Amino acid sequence: MNYIYRIENQKGESCYSYKYIDAIGVLLNDLDWFSETDKRVLPHGDIGIDRKPFKNEICGFVSVRQLLKWFKSWEIKRMKRLGFEVKRIPVQKITARGERQCLAVK
């Protein structure tokens, strides 16, 4: 069994779902969420992935260390207050590994 790490709510929804971005109040648009200066890039800009996710794929991290390089501690605390938490998710397969994230099939 493979596992990835991801920030989700109890419904399995990602914090990157557009309906949560404003509520989280971290940043308000994709240009801020995915910023080279914050070391956040879309999957197709991540070395090792270099493509957009397929419909059956989810984004996540291969380790807690990788996740903590992506999210700041205050962001994780804010998301936790809104019902999101760091989860270890079982996946069928990790389909792509980038420098900053991974893609997987649940």
pLDDT digits (tens, 9 = 90+) for 39-83: 678 888 899 999 999 999 999 999 999 999 988 888 888 888 888
Alpha-carbon distance of 73 to 96, in angstroms, equals: 26
Domain boundaries, the chain: 2-105
pLDDT tens, 87-105? 999 999 999 999 999 999 9
Give the per-residue pLDDT at 40.
76
Asked if residues 1 and 101 have their Cβ atoms less than 8 Å apart, the reply is: no
Asked if residues 33 and 7 have their Cβ atoms less than 8 Å apart, the reply is: no
- Stated as kind and residue range, the H or E segment containing 85 is strand 85-91
pTM: 0.82
- Report the share of the chain in percent with pLDDT over 90: 51
Is the pLDDT at 16 greater than 70, yes or no?
A: yes
Alpha-carbon distance of 43 to 50, in angstroms, equals: 6
